Each structure stands twice: as C-alpha cells, then as structure tokens.
C-alpha cells in the first residue's frame, strides 16, 4: 500500500512540473510576441513618418507674347507647380519668332506665322493643361508710340489680337501695353534670374538664396526704346526706384526707359538731324554710312513718327524724298550721333544721365543685350572688352568703304550700312549718357543668352506673374501604402492586446 501511494505522489509531482514548464514557455512566447508586436508597431510608424517624401504636383506652363515695335516673339515657360517662396522657378521651354511686322501693322503673312507659332506652342503643352495655362501679351515701345499718336489705333490693334488670343484653348489673362519702367524692371529680373543671383541649388538639391550674391545691372536696347535697370543702395529714393520682392527677398531697383531712343527711332532722329543741317535734299552727306553707299529714303520713313515729328522742316511735304551719301567718317559720325542726346541738361550733375533724368551712379556688373548685343556681335566685340578695344574696333569699322564692308562681313546690306551708326550710338548712350568709362567698361557684358535662354523682359514678366498664380501643395508619398499600413497596424495591435491579456491572466493565476 505504501509503495503505491509513493508512486502516485511521484506521478502527480511530475505532471505538475510539466504544467508549470508549459505555462512558463507559453508566458515566454507571449512576452516575446508582445515585445515583438510593440517593436513592429513602433518600426512601421517611424518608417511611415520619417521616410515619407513629397513629390512635385507637376509643372505649370505660361505663355508670353512679346509684341515689340518691329516683331512679335512667343515664349513658352514652365515651372514646378508648388513654387519657391511664392515665386515660380521658371525655365524657357520654347520660343517662336513671328515673321512679319509688329502687331500694329499685322498683315496676312504675319497672322499666318502667328497662328503657326501658337500651334507649335499648343503641341508642347500637355492637352489636359491647356485650359489652365495662362497666356499674356505685353506690347512695348512701338505700341506706346502708337498710343501717343492715336489712342484709337492702339486700342484697335490690341483688341484685334486679344480677340484672336481668346479663341485659343488657353487661359487668357490680358493683352496690354506695358510701361517703359515695367519693361526695364522685367529685363533686370530676367538677367539676374538667369545668372543665378536669386536662387541656386545646394548639395541636397534644394533651392536656396546664394550666399553673398550680387545682382547684375540690365541694359536693354529695342527698336523704339532703351532701358537701364540696376540695384541702388537701400536708402536711395526717387521716382524711378521700385521695391520688388522675389523669392522672399526685397530689392531696391532703379529703372528708367527712354522712349524714342531705341536703335531704329534714334536712327530716324539722326537722319532728321542731317536733313536739318543740309540745304540739298538730293545730296546729303552721311558720315556714318560707308563711302560708296547711297540711298534715297521717303520722307515718311523719317518723319512719320512721334519721335521726329517736331523736327519736320518748314517746307516739307509727304512727297519729299532724301538721298544720303556715305562718307565713312568715324569722327563726324560720333559728333552727329551725340547731337540727338540732350547732355547739356545734366552738366555738373553726377546723378543724371541725359535729358535731365535722375540716375544714381552705375555700380557693379552689367549685362547688355538685345540691340546692344547685336551691334557688338556684328563688330566682333561681344562679351567683355576694354573701352580702348571697343573704340578702336568701331573706328576701324567706320573707316571701311562699302565694297570692303560687303567683302569682310556676311551681314545683310539693310543692317550692314547702319552698324557704324549703331556702334557710335552704343558708345554715346553708355559713355556720355550712363557714365560708363575706361575704369568700368569691362564690367559690361554684351550677351544674347544665358544658359541657352534668351535674355528678354518676357521671362521677368512671367516670374512676376507667377507670384499671382496660386501654388499647388506638394504630393505626399508614403513608404508604405495606407491600406498595408492600416492592416499591419491592426494585426500587430491586436496581437499586442491578446498577448498582453494572456500575460495578465497568467500573472493573476500565479498569485491566486
């Protein structure tokens, strides 16, 4: 009997031991799953928050028509939809030159060319973004002159082009005549934007304001007006100073536009000056034209302009013609060109350019483009050069006769005959007008493009307009999709709760 009881007691003790070991093992496994579940929940939550990225919502597009005095150019720009500090990071996508005259004299050929340009622009923009793509037209000095001559003619020309633009599948904003001051400011914005003076990418591919960046002055020469713009000291005040905010920074910009001092209109003023100085309309000596060249010009081509109407001779009739004979005389050409500038009103005043216009002293580097560049390119003095080289090159060019010029330069005769005048005009306005001299002439950089993008007011205009185009929020990209994240979170949360309850029950059983 005693032996049986002992065996039974041993059997009970062994079974109890096994149950205890099983409970401990189950508790250990439950504790492991609890800790693992908590770790997984923390891990996926951390990855979901810390590793999320933002994607650009895509690109926005904008179209600007630069309606100049002699031609119209269509530009297509694009920028990321989310923008940087309320200003778009804009790049030029394409450019189309409309063949024919400006919008004030549009003929059937010019209209067909414009329509072809707009077709090409439309093909470059995704179809689903046509309706959201803004289109602007800015008319410059040519239309400003027409407006002075006839408000009705100016309004009719704008209305006609506006009606056409409104038929296109884009978001038409406006067709307007921009002021000379706006044209100068937008040119300055373009130059500095392209030079990277507003923004640059750091090593993390983020846009930042360049440390210690200096802005560059802008010199624009069109057919009917010319513009100068540069930053002035913050405390400088005047009618031609504008506060402009770009990418979160504010700039104090001096800008002035001289109407009637574009290359083409200024040349009419030179011709009118020669007529006034001559007594024989059939033989007028022109020191800027090359020797051996002569041309007969209808009087309307000189005097049918707001810029020369006050120079009409007393006996002039619309039937008058004037014949000019070239003389290849650089000294007399320089003197002649200087006569069209009112420099006397600024004598003794260092803060004055010409015609009594206030101007702070020019400082820093300047980019000279458009007509400035084309003149420098023709004479092979583009880029930066000394004043001595500029003058010697101009002198050499202006002493050549017509036969030599045609032999040495592959330039159309229409333009070749006038480059001596153009070069002397460039010297006069820069040296006598804006007060550039031998010490700072090399700070002038005659260029057409920067980073394969045209230097034109239209890019600055698009940048300014992008301030008023609402930005779109960046698109959030999560490393784990929402559905997978929710499923994992539910499963491991459930596992955590179950294991935690299991451990609590076992803990209670141990003490009770």
Q: What is the pLDDT of residues 213-244, one digit of tens each?
A: 789 999 999 999 999 999 998 888 877 999 88
11 domain-assigned: no
Are 276 and 252 members of one domain?
no
Are 202 and 297 members of one domain?
no
Phi and psi at 138, nearest 5°, equal: -120, 115
The three-state secondary structure class of 200 is: strand
Chain mean position to CA 140: 16
Residue with tokens 């919008």: 103
Is the pLDDT score of 7 beyond 80?
no
Q: Which residue has the higher pLDDT, 271 or 15?
A: 271
Residues 284 and 324 sit within 8 Å (Cβ to Cβ):
yes
pLDDT at residue 112 in the model: 95
Residues 311 and 276 sit within 8 Å (Cβ to Cβ):
yes
Are 287 and 342 members of one domain?
yes
Kindly give, in sequence order, each residue whose CB lies less than 8 Å from that of residue 104, ignoring residues fewer than 6 positions away.
Answer: 142, 143, 146, 153, 154, 157
pLDDT band at 250 (very low <50, low <70, confident <90, very high): confident
Are 293 and 381 members of one domain?
yes
- The overall average pLDDT reported for the chain is 86
Whole-number Cα distances in Å, 166 to 62, 152, 331: 15, 21, 52
Annotated binding residue 223: yes
- Angle between helix 180-194 and helix 457-466 axes, rounded to 10 deg: 90
pLDDT at residue 465 in the model: 73
User: How far apart (Å, rounded) are the C-alpha atoms in residues 260 and 307?
Assistant: 5
What is the DSSP code string of 118-161? HHHHHHHS-GGGTTT-EEEEEE-HHHHHHHHH-HHHHHHHHHHH
Are 178 and 211 members of one domain?
yes
Is the pLDDT score of 477 beyond 80?
no
Are 363 and 456 members of one domain?
no
Are 231 and 275 members of one domain?
no
User: How far apart (Å, rounded) are the C-alpha atoms in residues 390 and 438?
Assistant: 10
pLDDT at residue 84 in the model: 45
Residue with tokens 């007008």: 433
350 domain-assigned: yes
pLDDT at residue 489 in the model: 74
Both structure tokens of 262: 């574009």
Annotated binding residue 308: no
Q: Which secondary structure element, helix H or strand E, spans residue 398, and what is its range? A: helix 387-399
- Which domain, by its residues, includes 46? 24-52+478-511
Render pLDDT for 323-358 as a digit per residue (tens, 0 to 9).
999 999 999 999 999 999 999 998 888 889 999 999
Of the candidates 56, 67, 59, 128, which has an alpha carbon nearest to the alpha carbon of residue 93? 59
Kindly give, in sequence order, each residue whose CB lies less than 8 Å from that of residue 53, ignoring residues fewer than 6 positions away.
Answer: 476, 477, 479
Are 178 and 116 members of one domain?
yes
Are 311 and 430 members of one domain?
yes
Number of domains in the chain: 3
Annotated binding residue 279: no
Is the pLDDT score of 253 beyond 50?
yes
Long-range contacts, stretch 394-399, CB < 8 angstroms, 24+ apart: 394/330, 394/420, 394/423, 394/424, 394/427, 395/330, 397/423, 398/288, 398/328, 398/329, 398/330, 398/333, 398/423, 398/424, 399/328, 399/330
Of the candidates 441, 435, 460, which has an alpha carbon nearest to the alpha carbon of residue 368? 441
pLDDT at residue 309 in the model: 94
Is the pLDDT score of 109 beyond 90?
yes
Annotated binding residue 386: no
User: Hey, how many other C-beta atoms are within 10 angstroms of the C-beta on 349?
Assistant: 11
295 domain-assigned: yes
Are 301 and 432 members of one domain?
yes
User: How far apart (Å, rounded) are the C-alpha atoms in residues 343 and 448?
Assistant: 29
pLDDT at residue 425 in the model: 98
Are 328 and 410 members of one domain?
yes
Render pLDDT for 433-444 as a digit per residue (tens, 0 to 9).
999 999 999 999
Annotated binding residue 226: yes
Both structure tokens of 216: 């560059």
232 domain-assigned: yes
Are 178 and 125 members of one domain?
yes
Q: Enumerate the active-site residues.
A: 183
Query: Residue 344's domain is classified under what CATH number?
Result: 3.30.420.150
């Amino acid at each position: 009997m005693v032996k049986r009881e002992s065996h039974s007691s041993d059997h009970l003790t062994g079974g109890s031991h096994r149950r205890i070991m099983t409970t401990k093992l189950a508790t250990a496994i439950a504790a492991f799953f609890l800790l693992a579940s908590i770790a997984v929940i923390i891990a996926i939550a951390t990855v979901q928050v810390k590793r999320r990225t933002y994607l650009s919502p895509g690109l926005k597009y904008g179209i600007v028509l630069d309606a100049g005095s002699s031609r119209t150019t269509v530009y297509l720009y694009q920028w990321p939809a989310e923008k940087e500090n309320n200003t778009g990071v804009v790049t030029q996508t394409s450019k189309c030159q409309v063949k024919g005259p400006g919008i004030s004299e549009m003929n059937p050929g010019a209209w067909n060319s414009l329509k072809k340009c707009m077709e090409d622009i439309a093909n470059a923009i995704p179809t689903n973004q046509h309706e959201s793509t803004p289109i602007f037209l800015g008319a410059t000095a040519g239309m400003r002159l027409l407006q002075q001559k006839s408000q009705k003619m100016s309004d009719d020309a704008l209305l006609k082009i506006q009606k056409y633009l409104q038929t296109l599948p884009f978001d038409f904003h406006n067709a307007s005549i921009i002021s000379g001051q706006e044209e100068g400011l937008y040119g300055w914005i373009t130059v500095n934007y392209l030079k990277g003076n507003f923004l640059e990418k750091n090593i993390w591919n983020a846009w930042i304001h360049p440390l210690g960046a200096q802005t560059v002055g802008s010199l624009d020469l069109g057919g009917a007006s010319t513009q100068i713009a540069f930053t002035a000291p913050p405390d400088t005040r005047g009618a031609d100073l504008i506060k402009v905010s770009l990418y979160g920074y504010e700039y104090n910009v001096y800008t002035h536009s001289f109407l009637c001092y574009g290359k083409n209109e200024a040349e009419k003023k030179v011709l009118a000056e020669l007529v006034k100085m001559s007594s024989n309309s059939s033989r007028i000596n022109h020191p800027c034209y090359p020797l051996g060249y002569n041309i007969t010009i209808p009087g309307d081509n000189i005097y049918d302009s707001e810029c020369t109407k006050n120079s009409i001779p007393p006996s002039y009739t619309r039937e008058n013609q004037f014949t000019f004979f070239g003389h290849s005389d650089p000294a007399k050409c320089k003197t002649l060109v200087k006569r069209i500038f009112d420099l006397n009103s600024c004598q003794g005043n260092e803060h004055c350019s010409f015609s009594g216009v206030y101007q702070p002293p020019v400082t820093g580097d300047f980019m000279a483009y458009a007509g400035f560049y084309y003149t420098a390119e023709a004479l092979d003095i583009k880029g930066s050069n000394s004043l001595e080289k500029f003058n010697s090159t101009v002198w050499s060019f202006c002493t050549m006769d017509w036969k030599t010029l045609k032999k040495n330069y592959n330039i159309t005769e229409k333009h070749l005959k006038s480059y001596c005048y153009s070069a002397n005009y460039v010297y006069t306005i820069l040296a006598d007008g804006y007060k550039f001299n031998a010490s700072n002439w090399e700070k002038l950089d005659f260029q057409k493009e920067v980073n394969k993008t045209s230097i034109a007011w239209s890019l600055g205009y698009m940048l300014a307009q992008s301030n008023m185009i609402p930005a779109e929020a960046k698109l959030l990209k999560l490393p784990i999709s929402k559905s997978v994240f929710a499923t994992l979170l539910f499963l491991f949360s459930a596992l955590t709760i179950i294991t935690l309850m299991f451990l609590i029950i076992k803990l209670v059983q141990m003490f009770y």
